Structure 1
Amino acid sequence: MAGPPHHRLAQEPRRPRPPPPSRPRARPHHAHPLPGGGLAKYPRLAPTHDAFRVDADEKTERTALRGRLVAETDGGVSTGVQIPGVLDDLYARAATTAHLGPTFRNGRPTLSVWAPTAKNVALDLDGRTVAMRRDAATGVWSATGPAAWTGKPYRYAVTVFAPAAGKVVTNHVTDPYSTALTADSARSLVTDLADPALAPAGWQRLRKPKAVPLRDAQIQELHVRDFSARGDYLAFTDRRSAGMRHLKQLADAGTSYVHLLPVFDFATVPERRAGQATPPCDLAALPADSDEQQKCVGRTAARDAYNWGYDPLHYTVPEGSYASDPDGPRRTLEFRRMVGGLADAGLRTVMDVVYNHTAASGQDEKSVLDRIVPGYYHRLLDDGTVATSTCCANTAPEHAMMGKLVVDSVVTWAKEYKVDGFRFDLMGHHPKANILAVRKALDALTPAKDGVDGKSVILYGEGWNFGEVANDARFVQATQKNMAGTGVATFSDRSRDAIRGGGPFDADPRVQGFASGLFTAPNDSPANGSPDEQRARLLHAQDLIKVGLTGNLAGYRFTDSTGRDVRGADVDYNGSPAGYAAAPGDALSYADAHDNETLYDALAYKLPRSTPPADRARAQVLALAAAALSQGPSLSQAGTDLLRSKSLDRNSYDSGDWFNAIHFDCADGNGFGRGLPPARDNADKWQYARPLLADPGLRPGCGPVTAASAAYRDLLRIRTTEKTFGLATAEAVQAALSFPLSGRDETPGVVTMRLGDLVVVLNAAPDARTQRVAALAGTDYALHPVQAHGSDPVVRTASYAAGSGTFTVPGRTAAVFRRS
């Protein structure tokens, strides 16, 4: 490793080994121990490593970095050298202000790439080689050409020492800052995103729906191909389609954002339609509990049109498989038309961005960054291997130029594509400083200067704490607790698990929670424990849900189910504080997302098998209500209001259209019973899945689907029209929100919340419950007009007796009462 104030090499002891006899030797430089350890920048190394200062001047260091580096002791112990720290010391200050990729001035393009360790970089442009000039201060190579270069395909020929190959190689690589690509990402294209030919009609004057603050955001998470069998950007421009009609209904009810799963260029789908395979079976003819569907889908999974897309190839180019023509910049035009189509429906656009890893590293053909500056853009473990805790080759946004790439890419999407928000995949693997740099760069964008108001762009992400960066081991992470108070939200797993029951990695998927019948409608799983254990767990789940309803505020004070006066941070969640937020908007509530089973599938496992479809639908709406009626933003997976199933698939990232499609027409079913889910991630659950999938009683039919969707829209109308659901400060929440019946005598299966002039009762029990709030006796309340005149005949039977302050709510119902 290396770092200021002197360039340092941290050496891990290795077994002595002789150098290869043919290894070229440069003039050796000696290293001297630094006093006091000298590893302040790398505290994780300090206990076990030593730091040294190399006796070389800066010019020699820059030259040495363009070859192979080896550190050896006098005793013959030899190791390779990790170079990101010294590269940042030498180049970052100048290089982070450089303009990379294609830039245009008076119609003439300049192509620039950061490659400080390269011996040479040449431009392969439209079949010919063009020399590039190296800037010594920045390490950037560039070439300027005539306007005729525009539209031409190009790559960089980078001659560099590659540790993965053990020698100097010449890599022909696309541009990490590409703005357009040929099909299957074979070549970058010299493209100016300001070209009027790439702007759809009305693009410059596009009117977006009014910006919604993050604390009020209601978000639909959606995969392009799940949404439409067409699987393209233009599906969002067809106002007459069932999918767009449904999105318009949700927007009219209060949904404000559509969060698109990855739509940047990713590595795993053939982009030309002709090259995409389809399963060679009559899948619909197979039994509902058969393992044949998943086998057939698996045969073509690597070559079909489907993947979630969490395998980035080029971060700042739209994915080509969603374009009508992937070979060129048409994907830019059609992406912009998609953004316009969503805006016309009353929706703003969020992109799911995946800067924490790449599809590949080293000399792999799908590796871009690592073949240009080997050993820099990825996070290395002490033995020099690339960390893979994210599933793939982890990037290192703590390194200046990877951090710059994140910021530059996000700003490009916001400015050039009018994207309104970003969801950061595995955000906890980013430094907090990197995400705050994104926020700062967006805040600097103005309508007058940039055509967008960057301050209105929302940011949220997965603040999970794990892997080689866990517990701030390498830097202060962008985790749940660290992002509190920054204006960047993190997903809250606290209320999610309490609502659903259990956790994502349970061996037995039948572990119950609040909405799935724990104690009030027990199933036959021994994993749920005795009745007394179930009751205790349910009451604790209710405490977690209460904390979630406050917006996961750490400092919110209330009486918990044991009668204690506690703060949100005092409530336990698997050994961590349940409350971690400083203000509403720091935590994002949800009951399901693309990961893990859909909410319908989770309830299929957890509710007693005899539960009728209509009651399953009610449990689903109740679960959604516990998230949607919280302070702060909430998210639901597209189709969840339609009781969407993936046939119990818990990880459908490569399960194809058969398991993933959203069925907007309930006559087609909801996706349940399309066969056993793929063995890859589900075989250990097949013993539980098979009897459920074979049971026709778990296929809901149109009645429950239609009822659930309409009831959810009613809840959205209440959430987005009653201002007390969007309080701006923790102090305002403490003053307006309370749980008047919380304590030792609270009702298992019921959460009652008072919020200003509203009273919300969440009754998860299968039959009606009464909640007497003595302090409200003599005060008039009535069922909220949206529900009193709404779609659900069951909630309309909810009642209130003013004389005693008693609310009566039907089973598996979320009822909202308003002071009258």
Structure 2
Amino acid sequence: MNIKQLMATATLALIIAHNAMAQETFNEVSYSPKSTTFKLNAPEKPTLRLYDAGLGGKAYKKVKLSQTAPNVWTTTVKGDLKGKFYTFDIGRGETPGTFAKAVGVNGKRGAIIDLAETNPAGWDSDKRVPTRSAADLVIYELHHRDFSMSPTSGLVHKGKYLALTEQKAIDHLRALGINAVHILPSFDFASIDELRPDKPQYNWGYDPQNYNVPEGSYSYDAALPTRRITEFKQMVQALHKAGIRVILDVVYNHTFDIDGSNFQRTFPKEYYRYTSSGKPSNGSGCGNETASERTLMRQFMLESIKYWVEEYHIDGFRFDLMGIHDIETMNLIRSELNAIDPGIFVYGEGWSAGKCAYPEDKLAMKANTAQIPGIAAFSDELRDAIRGPFSDDTKPAFLAGLPGMEESVKAGIAGMIAHPQIDYSKVNYTKKPWADEPTQMIAYVSCHDDMCLVDRLRASIPETQYDEETLIRLDLLAQTAVFTSQGVPFMLSGEEMLRNKKGVHNSYNSPDSINEINWQNLKEYPQVLSYYSGLIKLRKLHPAFRLGRADLVRKHLEFLPVQEALVAFRLKDNAGGDKWKNIYVILNGSTELRTVTIPRGKYTIVCANGEVNESGLGEMEGGDVMVDSQSALILHD
């Protein structure tokens, strides 16, 4: 039995064990016009309170729930309660429970609605976009406000879900060529006051409150519980019609706080990890961490993920600080999703923000990626080898022509798999391959949680502060490594417009003036969008760049001899059935013109001097090939 068969057998055993010990589902409110049933997992008898409004006023009715199983309490209230609101209370403060599917303004009370009435016209025929292989994905990470808030965007629905339904937004995404939008946390989070939608407020949303309800501030009426749900579905529907997948950023690793959280007010201490001294563990860096290995939290995550897939037709999930979650739970999630649609993509940050109160070898850390088949992790190896370390914004790397990062770049190009031509002893953050398949690695050079690429270049390479030509040249070179990697390519929204955030590294609550994308840059720097879209088109049209399997990568990806700050490789023998026999990619981070030797013959140039054209930019002879400084060259025979 090979390792993959062993993993499959172990996962099946986990599912059987999980099903055997699982309590009833978290479906806390079941509505019908004749009656509504409420259910809660709690250690003590809860009181149900019913309200006419989502905020303010006194409860018009109180009901004690009855125990139907260990720690399971239920009650049924007769009559049509649609439009009413509710809370549970076991004596620790009122809460909408852990699994509210609709809430009032600011998420303090659950809302009783008919979910079927939230479906936009044609929702029943909306389908997830089919995915043949994760290698085919091109992911575009965006924040709702960043994307649409600037007056230069020309979008009507500024800062709202509906911005992504507008034709201009759809046309831009299609012109760029991406096929998956990763939306930053869009569940109900705690830091924005939904009562004051006109007040300037900003947050990335990594402060969870109600995990299974769309955030109200991105809707036009947070006080109307159904509206945020309908508008979220309209967004998904519009993107699906355009052939674009929707990936949801999920933050199950911590809550906004402990004592005020729905978890703690429902079942104290069951959802969190604690140190040996009894204090809350803080692997998230936010004051707490959840305990995915415990029955209630594990079950909650499984049910929540399935709910977003089934109710909102979500195509994938990005797990914030995935390294806090245990391996068993992540494998269960992958198995549950496989039963629904194996094409649903799952990836996350393969690290934590601090030490967790759980053994590291049992956590979904990047080093343990081989134990979570079908789940990917971000490669900080490639990111930092290209542009410099996350820990020091001023320190450059490959893009500055510095030697020593060549093996790290090669590992990222291969997808962090074992490859006979990669010396992992020289790779920056890992000394052995951590991915079994290239689709388990996310290739990127920037994301929301860091400087954007332009700011990073300006902070680390002084010349780019006054020389715009060099800035653009290095920007394009960086993304060439990303889009020719055998991993899954990922980009931050606005990079195709030469976005900047005025040098702010951690802009989680910076104003729109810092975070918003300046769409005017499309007119000022058209060559940047042209290059990005050209790279994406090249990747889509040529399977050699997205082989998807480690054995094929080892067979067809051949590295040429490295030079200082230069990495070159060949995708050979019609890799993946490609119509091009041999493709050469040369990434020259050096400040000098370099010579690379390839076999003699006639070649077509498809990328050079800041231009990409799949049909060809010209022809050249093989032999000693000259590669301009700080640029990429791609050619084929």
Q: Report deviation, 1:191.
A: 2.5
SS at match of 1:409: helix
What is the alpha-carbon distance in structure 1 between the residues aligned to residue 62 and residue 338 of structure 2?
Answer: 38
1:103 matched to 2:11: no
Residue 456 of structure 1, aligned match among 343, 354, 369:
343
Conserved 8 A contact 1:92-1:400: no
Query: What is the match of residue 818 of structure 1?
Result: 636
Residue 584 of structure 2, aligned match among 721, 737, 759:
759
| Amino acid in the other structure paired with 1:247 | L
1:473 matched to 2:359: yes
Query: What is the match of residue 666 of structure 1?
Result: 521
What is the alpha-carbon distance in structure 2 between the residues aligned to residue 788 and residue 594 of structure 1?
Answer: 29
The Cα offsets for residues 223-242 of structure 1, whole Å up to 9 and x where unpaired, read as: 001011211111111113xx
Q: Report deviation, 1:130.
A: 4.1
Residue 272 of structure 2, aligned match among 372, 375, 378:
378
Residue 345 of structure 1, aligned match among 230, 242, 246:
242
What is the alpha-carbon distance in structure 1 between the residues aligned to residue 34 and residue 483 of structure 2?
Answer: 50
Residue 395 of structure 1, aligned match among 269, 276, 290:
290
What is the alpha-carbon distance in structure 2 between the residues aligned to residue 783 and residue 572 of structure 1?
Answer: 30
| Amino acid in the other structure paired with 1:356 | N
What is the alpha-carbon distance in structure 1 between the residues aligned to residue 428 and residue 114 of structure 2?
Answer: 50
Q: Pick closer, same or farther for the CA change 1:343–1:120 going to 2, 3 Å.
A: closer
SS at match of 1:357: coil
Conserved 8 A contact 2:68-2:74: no
The Cα offsets for residues 649-683 of structure 1, whole Å up to 9 and x where unpaired, read as: 0000000101000111228xxxxxxxxxxxxxxxx
Q: Pick closer, same or farther for the CA change 1:104–1:807 going to 2, 3 Å.
A: farther
Q: Report deviation, 1:211.
A: 2.3
Q: Report deviation, 1:93.
A: 5.4
1:709 matched to 2:593: no
Instruction: Determine which structure has more spread, i.e. the larger CA radius of gyration.
Output: 1
1:319 matched to 2:215: yes
Residue 246 of structure 1, aligned match among 142, 159, 172:
172
The Cα offsets for residues 773-792 of structure 1, whole Å up to 9 and x where unpaired, read as: 2xx23x432113xx489956
1:143 matched to 2:75: yes
Residue 572 of structure 1, aligned match among 415, 424, 427:
427
Q: Report deviation, 1:595.
A: 1.1
Q: Report deviation, 1:100.
A: 2.8
Residue 271 of structure 1, aligned match among 182, 186, 194:
194
| Amino acid in the other structure paired with 1:249 | A
Conserved 8 A contact 1:621-1:641: no
What is the alpha-carbon distance in structure 1 between the residues aligned to residue 306 and residue 79 of structure 2?
Answer: 25
Residue 491 of structure 1, aligned match among 378, 383, 388:
378
Query: What is the match of residue 518 of structure 1?
Result: 401
Query: What is the match of residue 236 of structure 1?
Result: 164
- The aligned runs of 1:19-168 (5 Å cut-off) are 95-104=22-31, 108-116=35-43, 118-126=44-52, 127-135=59-67, 137-146=69-78, 148-159=80-91
Q: Report deviation, 1:108.
A: 3.8
- The aligned runs of 1:744-783 (5 Å cut-off) are 747-756=563-572, 757-773=582-598, 776-777=599-600, 779-783=601-605
Q: Pick closer, same or farther for the CA change 1:107–1:616 going to 2, 3 Å.
A: farther
Identity, in percent, stands at 31
The Cα offsets for residues 201-226 of structure 1, whole Å up to 9 and x where unpaired, read as: 11111255442522221100000010
Q: Pick closer, same or farther for the CA change 1:578–1:640 going to 2, 3 Å.
A: farther
Q: Report deviation, 1:770.
A: 2.0
Conserved 8 A contact 1:355-1:395: yes
Q: Report deviation, 1:426.
A: 0.1
| Amino acid in the other structure paired with 2:247 | V
Q: Pick closer, same or farther for the CA change 1:749–1:120 going to 2, 3 Å.
A: closer
What is the alpha-carbon distance in structure 1 between the residues aligned to residue 48 and residue 285 of structure 2?
Answer: 33
What is the alpha-carbon distance in structure 2 between the residues aligned to residue 182 and residue 579 of structure 1?
Answer: 48
Query: What is the match of residue 258 of structure 1?
Result: 181
What is the alpha-carbon distance in structure 2 between the residues aligned to residue 765 and residue 741 of structure 1?
Answer: 15
Q: Report deviation, 1:489.
A: 0.1
Residue 456 of structure 2, aligned match among 590, 602, 615:
602
| Amino acid in the other structure paired with 2:124 | Q
> After alignment, is 142-151 or 709-718 more displaced?
142-151
Conserved 8 A contact 1:592-1:637: yes
What is the alpha-carbon distance in structure 1 between the residues aligned to residue 610 and residue 262 of structure 2?
Answer: 54
Q: Pick closer, same or farther for the CA change 1:107–1:781 going to 2, 3 Å.
A: farther
Conserved 8 A contact 1:593-1:637: yes
| Amino acid in the other structure paired with 2:133 | P
Q: Report deviation, 1:751.
A: 1.2
Q: Report deviation, 1:580.
A: 1.2
What is the alpha-carbon distance in structure 2 between the residues aligned to residue 411 and residue 208 of structure 1?
Answer: 14
What is the alpha-carbon distance in structure 2 between the residues aligned to residue 142 and residue 256 of structure 1?
Answer: 44
Q: Pick closer, same or farther for the CA change 1:658–1:466 going to 2, 3 Å.
A: closer
Query: What is the match of residue 109 of structure 2?
Result: 187
Conserved 8 A contact 1:221-1:593: yes
Residue 617 of structure 1, aligned match among 464, 472, 476:
472
Query: What is the match of residue 215 of structure 1?
Result: 135
SS at match of 1:269: coil
Find runs of 4+ consecutive structure 1 residues off by over 4 angstroms: 91-95, 104-107, 787-793, 795-799
What's the TM-score, normalizing by structure 1?
A: 0.69
| Amino acid in the other structure paired with 1:186 | K
The Cα offsets for residues 291-347 of structure 1, whole Å up to 9 and x where unpaired, read as: xxxxxxxxxxxxx2x100000000000000001111111100000001112223331
Q: Report deviation, 1:361.
A: 0.8
Q: Report deviation, 1:765.
A: 2.7
Conserved 8 A contact 2:411-2:427: no
| Amino acid in the other structure paired with 1:211 | T
The Cα offsets for residues 171-215 of structure 1, whole Å up to 9 and x where unpaired, read as: 22112111111111121012342x1x2111111112554425222
Q: Report deviation, 1:719.
A: 1.2
| Amino acid in the other structure paired with 1:623 | A
Conserved 8 A contact 1:173-1:371: yes
What is the alpha-carbon distance in structure 1 between the residues aligned to residue 101 and residue 251 of structure 2?
Answer: 17
Could you say what the CA RMSD is over the residues aligned between the two structures, in angstroms? 2.5
Conserved 8 A contact 2:603-2:619: no
Q: Pick closer, same or farther for the CA change 1:209–1:171 going to 2, 3 Å.
A: closer
What is the alpha-carbon distance in structure 1 between the residues aligned to residue 609 and residue 502 of structure 2?
Answer: 35
- The aligned runs of 1:543-562 (5 Å cut-off) are 543-553=407-417, 555-558=418-421
Conserved 8 A contact 2:32-2:80: no
1:806 matched to 2:624: yes
| Amino acid in the other structure paired with 1:647 | K
The Cα offsets for residues 764-809 of structure 1, whole Å up to 9 and x where unpaired, read as: 2345322112xx23x432113xx4899569x98786423xx23223
Unaligned runs of 5+ residues in structure 1 are: 1-90, 160-169, 279-303, 446-453, 520-537, 561-565, 668-701
What is the alpha-carbon distance in structure 2 between the residues aligned to residue 578 and residue 338 of structure 1?
Answer: 41
Conserved 8 A contact 1:212-1:256: no
Conserved 8 A contact 1:379-1:387: yes
What is the alpha-carbon distance in structure 1 between the residues aligned to residue 172 and residue 315 of structure 2?
Answer: 21
| Amino acid in the other structure paired with 2:470 | D
Conserved 8 A contact 1:798-1:815: no
Residue 224 of structure 1, aligned match among 132, 138, 144:
144
The Cα offsets for residues 124-164 of structure 1, whole Å up to 9 and x where unpaired, read as: 454233434443633111112335022310001213xxxxx
1:634 matched to 2:489: yes
